[in-house]
Amino acid sequence: MKKILVFQTDWTYAEGAVASTYGVVKSVDADIEIITATHEIPQYDTWSASYRLYQYIDFWPKGTIFVSVVDPGVGTSRRACVAKTKNGYYIVTPDNGTLTHVDKKWGIEEVREIDETVNRLHRDDNGKVSIFHGRDLFGYCAAKLASGKISYEEVGPKYDLSLIKRHEITEGRLSDGRLEGMFEIKDPNFGNLWSNIPLDLFIEAGFSIGDKVRTKIYYRNELKYDWVLPYFDSFGKAPDKSVMIYNNELNKMALAKVCGSLEKDYGIDFGPDYKVVFEHE
């Protein structure tokens, strides 16, 4: 049975990159199933690429191959790799931080550097192309692996797991009933902000559904918002255009403006510059 290829990139559909890469895959084996996760990762944002893999990877059948290409270092000495995860998947990607969240959550069992001499597309008209490894290296190698034309061991030489490039991940903290964390990602379509504070820690702090929670948001340690917000388990329980706290799909605490955009309407984004604090009134 041929494996599924799931793609995520920062390419968008504005030009032909996606189509040419999918064409390469189908040229290796027309029976390979290609699924698009997203081509809308923020440009060059390897943190978001890492987080999105963590968001959805474990819902797929074991053995699925994920191709993640957010590659600001394309053509440089950064490694091109295929990682085998401890929970049963393969990730074909530049080793530039994209493996961080999956490694933290489930672990990387083994990682191999792609051997470009045999697992890169070589055509007379692309021999000098150094800026499109998404098509010529990652897509091509992933297709060979999915089709069974190569085994995982034939991807290339394995290298030490300690050499994998990882982003720093911070955890939410609880002290004397006060929770402190950061917004580690956003929901770009709806403008919601997702924190790194897990539901279990929120409950441990003594918060329950229906509570009013003192919520402070800081940007570079400057207080920007000081709200008392309701904690609901459903958007439909809050009035339209109101701001609420909820438990997101990854069991982490998040903020939303119901039928609005917290990001756009209040100018809040994600990253280490943004701190969120939950306290009892």
Contact (CB, 8 A) for 100 and 39: no
CA distances from 66 to 9, 31, 42, 243 (A): 11, 17, 18, 35
Q: What is the pLDDT of residue 281?
A: 87
3-state secondary structure (DSSP) of residue 203: helix
**Residues 59-87 pLDDT 10s:** 999 999 999 999 998 878 899 999 999 99
Residue 1 has pLDDT above 70, yes or no: no
Residue 201 has pLDDT above 90, yes or no: yes
Tally of residues, the chain: 281
Lowest-confidence region among 121-125, 150-154, 204-208, 235-239: 121-125
Residue 18 has pLDDT above 70, yes or no: yes
Q: What is the pLDDT of residue 270?
A: 97
Provide the pLDDT confidence category of residue 2 given band limits of 50, 70 and 90: confident
Q: What is the pLDDT of residue 75?
A: 79
Contact (CB, 8 A) for 138 and 92: yes
Q: What is the pLDDT of residue 123?
A: 75
pTM score of the predicted model: 0.94
Average pLDDT over residues 100-119: 97
Q: What is the pLDDT of residue 3?
A: 84
- List, by residue range, all CATH 3.40.50.10790 domains of the chain: 4-163
**Residues 116-140 pLDDT 10s:** 999 999 876 656 666 689 899 999 9
The residue that leads in pLDDT, 123 or 16, is: 16
Q: What is the pLDDT of residue 126?
A: 59
Contact (CB, 8 A) for 65 and 3: yes
CATH 3.40.50.10790 fits 4-163, yes or no: yes
Average pLDDT over residues 219-232: 97
Contact (CB, 8 A) for 146 and 3: yes
Which of 55-61's residues contact partners 24+ apart within 8 Å by CB, and which partners?
55/249, 55/250, 57/85, 57/87, 57/89, 57/91, 57/102, 58/87, 58/106, 60/4, 60/6, 60/89, 61/4
Give the CATH fold of the 173-280 domain: Elongation Factor Tu (Ef-tu); domain 3 (2.40.30)
